[in-house]
Amino acid sequence: MRFLAAVFALFLCVLNAAAEENSRERVGIYEAKLVELAKKEAIIDAIKRANDEPPAEMDNEKWASLADTDEIVRAATQNEAAKLIRQFEADKGVKKVYLRNSRGVIIAGSAKAPLYNDAKHKHIAAALADFAPRSLPVKTDPLSGAKTIWIAVPVMENSKAIGVLHTEIILQASEARP
């Protein structure tokens, strides 16, 4: 009986190691795709324009109260950068993609971002400060049950991070929920 338990435990370790390797590989693939998206002219131009504008009189609470059809929200979801983001999101391995300026303010996304200013989230702040892709720990999405991870990559110009692209990657889809 102990032998079977040991074999089963070994099998679970091997299975877990394979899943971890698959997850690391998947994150690497999407980081590379985000880095390429971050090089697009429409993405860089949108960030440069947003960085040149004075900060809006907006905060996360006001943003949350706006309808998806509000002109301020539509400005972030209907611009050229948002069109590129929607194309990127056609890949069903990602759930959400947002573009933020150097202050962490939303400037483009395929839909309304939950937060107007997301600069305090570790992966976004680190991507802006370290000029390198960053991620958060794997979590379980409370609605879908899927295992996901958020990654952020800096948008660079002249060796300087001018903004950030971030997305939620689906690592493992969940079983159908009742």
pLDDT tens profile 23-62: 778 888 888 999 999 999 999 999 999 999 888 889 999 9
CB 165 within 8 A of CB 155: yes
Most distant CA atoms of the chain, gap in Å: 70
pLDDT band at 82 (very low <50, low <70, confident <90, very high): very high
With H, G, I as helix, E, B as strand and everything else as coil, classify residue 95.
Answer: strand
Q: What CATH number has the domain spanning 2-172?
A: 3.30.450.20
Residues whose CB is less than 8 angstroms from the CB of residue 16 and which lie 6 or more positions away in sequence, other chains included = none
- Prediction pTM value: 0.81
Q: Determine how β-strand 94-101 pairs with β-strand 160-172.
A: antiparallel
Distances (CA, A) of 40 to 12, 37, 82, 87: 43, 6, 12, 13
Closest CA to 113 of 145, 139, 147, 81: 81
Q: How confident is the model at residue 76 (pLDDT cuts 50, 70, 90)?
A: very high
Residue range 98-141, pLDDT digits in tens? 999 999 999 999 899 999 998 888 888 888 887 777 777 888 87
Residue with the bigger pLDDT between 74 and 140: it is 74
Which tokens belong to 157?
């110009």
